[in-house]
Structure 1
C-alpha cells in the first residue's frame, strides 16, 4: 500500500498554506505572480482522470474555492488554472493570478523567467492572507 508524499520538487519550491479535505494548498515561492497550487493527497496519481469520481468532484470544488479567494485577494486580469505535470508527475493544479503588466504576459509563466523568491516576511503575509480568505474551509481551522 502506498502513502501520499508530496513530490520533492513541490516541497522545495513552495510553502504550505493549509489543507482542504482533499488537497494540500501550497504557495509557490515566486513573488512575480500570486501563485497557489493544489495537490490532491492521494498516492500515485498523475492525472485528474485517475482520481475516483468523488475525488474529482472534490478537486473541482476546492479549485473553485481557491480561485475565488485568489481573485478576491489579488484582483488579477486573468486567473490561469492548469495541470501540466511535465516536470513533476504528481497531480497538482496551478492557480496563477496574472496581470497585463506581469513580466510574462501574455505568455505562460513556465520556463520564461527565473523565480524571484519571497522573503520569509513576504511569504508569511501571503500565507496569512490566503488562510484568512479560506477560513472555515481549511481542515484544522
Structure 2
C-alpha cells in the first residue's frame, strides 16, 4: 500500500457533484451497457455520472468508469459539465487505486478500438504482472474470479468506494 499525503488522500465524498441534473446521466433502465463490457466486468457502484465496474481479471487491480450517457463514444461527446465530472471521477478512482491498489504504476486509458462505448480503464501495474511492461489488453486470457472471490471483491471495493 502506497503512503499518501493528506493532500492526495482519496476522499469518498469528492465524487459527489454539485452539477445536479446538468449531468444528464441516464437512469438505470435507460442506459445500455455494451455487452462486451458487461461480460468482462462486474458492477461496483453508481456514481453521479459513471458506473464503476471491476474488470474480471484477478491478476490486476483494474477498475473502469463508464459514463451513463447515451451514444457517448468520445470524451468530446460529453457536455462540459459531464467532462468535468468524468475528470473528477477518474481522479477519485486514481487516488483510490494508488492508495489501496497493488502496484507502482497507474495506467489510465480510454482506447475504444474494440468497444466504442466511452469507458475509462484504470489499472495498477507492477513489474511482476504478467503483461509488464506491455499493455494488459490482449496480452493473455483473463483469469476470472470464481463466484466466491467475486463476491469478496465486490465487498472490498464497495467498502472503499
User: Which TM-score applies when normalising by structure 1?
Assistant: 0.90
Structure 1: unaligned runs, 5 residues or longer: 135-141
* Among candidates 95, 103, 127, match of residue 100 of structure 1: 127
- Partner Cα distance (1:123, 1:84) in 2: 26
Q: How does 1:12-31 map to 2 (within 5 A)?
A: 12-31=39-58
Matched, 1:35 2:62: yes
Structure 2: unaligned runs, 5 residues or longer: 1-25
User: Which TM-score applies when normalising by structure 2?
Assistant: 0.79
What is the root-mean-square deviation of aligned Cα atoms in Å?
1.3
The structure showing larger relative contact order (alpha-carbon pairs under 8 Å, at least 6 residues apart) is 1
Match of 1:110 in 2: 137
Matched, 1:56 2:99: no
Match of 1:131 in 2: 158
Q: Which runs of 4+ in 1 moved over 3 A?
A: none
C-alpha displacement at 1:75, in angstroms?
4.0
Q: In the TM superposition, what whole-angstrom CA distance separates every residue of 1:66-112 from its partner, at most 9, and x where no partner exists?
A: 11111222242101000011111100000111111100001100111
- Partner Cα distance (1:121, 1:34) in 2: 17
- Partner Cα distance (2:83, 2:156) in 1: 27
Number of matched residues?
133
